[in-house]
Protein backbone atom coordinates (compact mmCIF):
# COMPACT_ATOMS: atom_id res chain seq x y z
CA UNK A 1 0.00 0.00 0.00
CA UNK A 2 1.43 3.36 -1.02
CA UNK A 3 1.02 6.19 1.45
CA UNK A 4 2.42 9.01 -0.67
CA UNK A 5 -0.71 9.70 -2.70
CA UNK A 6 -1.12 13.21 -4.02
CA UNK A 7 -4.34 14.99 -3.08
CA UNK A 8 -4.96 18.11 -5.20
CA UNK A 9 -5.98 21.12 -3.13
CA UNK A 10 -6.41 23.81 -5.77
CA UNK A 11 -9.19 22.66 -8.11
CA UNK A 12 -11.59 25.51 -7.39
CA UNK A 13 -9.21 28.47 -7.50
CA UNK A 14 -10.45 31.66 -9.12
CA UNK A 15 -9.42 32.27 -12.73
CA UNK A 16 -6.22 34.22 -13.06
CA UNK A 17 -4.83 36.50 -15.72
CA UNK A 18 -1.15 36.62 -14.86
CA UNK A 19 -1.05 37.47 -11.17
CA UNK A 20 -4.50 39.12 -11.13
CA UNK A 21 -7.89 37.54 -10.61
CA UNK A 22 -10.13 37.91 -13.65
CA UNK A 23 -12.58 40.22 -11.88
CA UNK A 24 -9.72 42.57 -10.94
CA UNK A 25 -8.13 42.46 -14.40
CA UNK A 26 -11.40 43.01 -16.30
CA UNK A 27 -11.60 46.81 -15.70
CA UNK A 28 -8.05 47.27 -16.98
CA UNK A 29 -8.71 45.16 -20.07
CA UNK A 30 -11.97 46.99 -20.76
CA UNK A 31 -10.26 50.36 -20.32
CA UNK A 32 -7.44 49.24 -22.62
CA UNK A 33 -10.01 48.32 -25.28
CA UNK A 34 -11.93 51.61 -24.93
CA UNK A 35 -8.69 53.60 -24.93
CA UNK A 36 -7.52 51.81 -28.06
CA UNK A 37 -10.81 52.59 -29.81
CA UNK A 38 -10.56 56.26 -28.87
CA UNK A 39 -7.63 56.82 -31.20
CA UNK A 40 -5.69 59.48 -29.28
CA UNK A 41 -2.84 59.03 -26.84
CA UNK A 42 -4.33 61.33 -24.22
CA UNK A 43 -7.67 59.54 -24.08
CA UNK A 44 -5.84 56.18 -24.06
CA UNK A 45 -3.83 57.33 -21.04
CA UNK A 46 -6.96 58.62 -19.30
CA UNK A 47 -8.77 55.33 -19.93
CA UNK A 48 -5.83 53.30 -18.62
CA UNK A 49 -5.52 55.40 -15.46
CA UNK A 50 -9.26 55.02 -14.91
CA UNK A 51 -9.04 51.26 -15.50
CA UNK A 52 -6.19 50.89 -13.01
CA UNK A 53 -8.08 53.00 -10.44
CA UNK A 54 -11.22 50.89 -10.79
CA UNK A 55 -9.13 47.72 -10.62
CA UNK A 56 -7.46 48.95 -7.45
CA UNK A 57 -10.87 49.80 -5.95
CA UNK A 58 -12.21 46.32 -6.79
CA UNK A 59 -9.17 44.62 -5.24
CA UNK A 60 -9.58 46.66 -2.03
CA UNK A 61 -13.30 45.85 -1.99
CA UNK A 62 -12.56 42.12 -2.31
CA UNK A 63 -9.88 42.06 0.40
CA UNK A 64 -10.66 39.67 3.28
CA UNK A 65 -13.92 38.50 1.70
CA UNK A 66 -15.09 35.28 0.10
CA UNK A 67 -13.22 34.39 -3.12
CA UNK A 68 -16.48 34.58 -5.10
CA UNK A 69 -17.47 37.93 -3.59
CA UNK A 70 -17.67 39.63 -7.00
CA UNK A 71 -20.02 36.97 -8.37
CA UNK A 72 -22.23 37.21 -5.30
CA UNK A 73 -22.31 41.02 -5.53
CA UNK A 74 -23.24 40.88 -9.22
CA UNK A 75 -26.03 38.38 -8.53
CA UNK A 76 -27.60 40.65 -5.91
CA UNK A 77 -27.26 43.87 -7.91
CA UNK A 78 -27.86 42.93 -11.55
CA UNK A 79 -31.42 42.70 -12.91
CA UNK A 80 -32.93 39.26 -13.09
CA UNK A 81 -33.04 38.62 -16.83
CA UNK A 82 -32.84 35.22 -18.50
CA UNK A 83 -29.19 35.97 -19.20
CA UNK A 84 -28.26 36.68 -15.57
CA UNK A 85 -30.78 34.65 -13.58
CA UNK A 86 -29.84 31.41 -11.88
CA UNK A 87 -32.12 28.38 -12.06
CA UNK A 88 -31.62 26.86 -8.61
CA UNK A 89 -31.93 30.03 -6.55
CA UNK A 90 -34.79 32.49 -6.13
CA UNK A 91 -34.67 35.98 -7.58
CA UNK A 92 -32.81 38.55 -5.53
CA UNK A 93 -35.95 40.54 -4.73
CA UNK A 94 -37.41 37.59 -2.75
CA UNK A 95 -36.05 38.04 0.78
CA UNK A 96 -38.29 35.87 2.88
CA UNK A 97 -36.96 34.01 5.91
CA UNK A 98 -37.84 30.35 6.05
CA UNK A 99 -37.96 28.82 9.49
Can you give the residue ranges of every domain in the chain?
Answer: 16-77
The region, left, alpha or beta by phi > 0 then psi within -120 to 50, assigned to residue 70 is alpha
> What is the pLDDT at residue 66?
83
pLDDT digits (tens, 9 = 90+) for 50-89: 999 999 998 898 888 887 788 788 777 776 666 655 566 6
> What is the pLDDT at residue 54?
93
Q: Is the pLDDT of residue 91 over 70?
A: no
Helix axes 22-38, 41-62, angle to 10 degrees: 170
Nearest to 57 by CA among 44, 80, 73, 43: 73
Q: Would the CA dihedral through 94, 92, 85, 68 be positive or negative?
A: negative
- Percentage of the chain modeled with pLDDT above 90: 30
Cα 54 to Cα 30: distance, rounded to the nearest angstrom: 11
Amino acid sequence: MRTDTYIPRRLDDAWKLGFWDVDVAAPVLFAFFIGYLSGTKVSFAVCMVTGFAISRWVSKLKADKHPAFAVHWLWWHLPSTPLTSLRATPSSHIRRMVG
